[in-house]
Structure 1
Amino acid sequence: MPRPRTLTQDRLVAAAHAVVDREGLAGLSMRAVAKELGMSTMGLYRYVADRETLERLLVESLLDAVDTAPPPDDTPWRERVEEMVRRLRVAVSARPAVLPLTVTHRHHSPGVLRWSETVLTILDEAGFDGTRRVIALRALLGYVIGALQLEHLGPLAGPGTTTIAALPPADFPHLADTARHARDVTPDAEFFGGLAILLRGLAS
């Protein structure tokens, strides 16, 4: 008789998150997760097919936490979209190490599909249709994913900005000056300031 399946998905996902938190995405493997769970690698294959499946489970656990209920419809569409983006940022920021996987696996995540459907509903009600709605959604996703990666993987307060600020002003006057000013920009100001620019552009 086959052995009973005793490993729950919650335990599996928690173990995978523990590996990524400790070793980064490069350390995520069937062997590492099996070790985290105190079982053999072959035993883990009874519950999950491969590393790609592990990645999908991580993305699903991250994005399923997003509140996808439509914001109140008595507010302007730009405020409603900003609220949806804020919710996504909060969820993703809880596990920033998993962020790069969202690009590859977002199509398989029920959470991001529901989020996209809600955003598209808001855009539709605001008069976006056809290719304009396509471009608007893609622009929003591109901004959110890119901005969050910059926020967590290359923050303004990081060593990269310090290095750029020290560039010779004679060779890079605008770049060096911009990097020096960047030290005073908070993550919230950077993220929502960029979002406001994008939304103004979409509205024009």
Structure 2
Amino acid sequence: MPRPRSLTPERLAAAALAVIDRDGLAALSMRTVAKELTMSPMGLYRYVADREELEGLVVERVLSTVDTAPPAPDAPWRDRIELMAGRLREAVARHPSAVPLTVAHRHRSPAGLRWSEAVLEILTGAGIDGGRRVVALRALHAYITGAIQLEHLGPLAGSGTEAIAALPADRFPRLAETAHDARTIGPEEEFFGGLRLLLHGLDGA
């Protein structure tokens, strides 16, 4: 197969992301990306050393679309964190199958680092520092990535909620009751409602 004339990191990342979006993360390999680019797998090694480097390019492509500009400083700190979390969710949720890669490689992504720096600045201004700030940032990352995966892999509007709602009420009364309530909650309310609970916890910790 012919070698592409201009295989830039951006084009390489776009091809890898196309494989992930279409076929899932398990389908990502040097061979499948080479096929996407109509080139030989060996030819791909001229541009990236291995799959790990390929994954890093994918993460940077996903996170580069995040708006990392600091929010207006006159807004309450929880509102500013909520804005930053919403920006990250909006970018990452476009490629839900790639979410595990953002967890593994975000420390290598300049865009991801800028997001974290902006969030840490807000937390610091709110008096959250030291080990508490470490835990706060990790908790935010865990919540955002976990919420995105739940929204796309096990949405409240999906069959899982229906199955839980049908559980025998004598054995699982709270689960069945909660599943019935879950049918009325949309993705935005679920994400930001959970985030606000987390932020209120940080405020009082």
Q: TM-score, normalised by structure 1?
A: 0.95
Indicate the SS of the match to 2:73: coil
4+ aligned runs moved over 2 Å, structure 1: 3-6
Shift of 1:145: 1.2
Letter in 2 for 1:83: L
Shift of 1:5: 6.4
Match of 1:105? Answer: 105
Distance in 1 between residues matched to 2:15 and 2:131, nearest whole Å: 42
The one-character-per-residue Cα deviations of 1:84-135 (angstroms, maximum 9, x if unpaired) are 1111011111211111211111111111111111111111111112112112
Match of 2:65? Answer: 65
Residues 146 and 66 of structure 1, relative CA distance in 2, 3 Å threshold: same
Residues 75 and 155 of structure 1, relative CA distance in 2, 3 Å threshold: same
Q: What does 1:59-98 correspond to in 2, within 5 Å?
A: 59-98=59-98
Moved more, 4-13 or 119-128: 4-13
Distance in 2 between residues matched to 1:4 and 1:102, nearest whole Å: 28
Match of 1:124? Answer: 124
Distance in 2 between residues matched to 1:93 and 1:189, nearest whole Å: 15
Match of 1:202? Answer: 202
Q: What does 1:160-179 correspond to in 2, within 5 Å?
A: 160-179=160-179
Distance in 1 between residues matched to 2:177 and 2:87, nearest whole Å: 33
% identical aligned pairs: 66
- Structure 1 unaligned residues grouped into runs of 5+: none
RMSD, aligned α-carbons: 1.4
- Structure 2 unaligned residues grouped into runs of 5+: none
Shift of 1:6: 2.9
Match of 1:40? Answer: 40
- 1:11 partnered with 2:11: yes
Moved more, 4-13 or 194-203: 4-13
Distance in 1 between residues matched to 2:174 and 2:69, nearest whole Å: 43
The one-character-per-residue Cα deviations of 1:161-195 (angstroms, maximum 9, x if unpaired) are 11111111111111111112111100000000001
Letter in 2 for 1:161: T
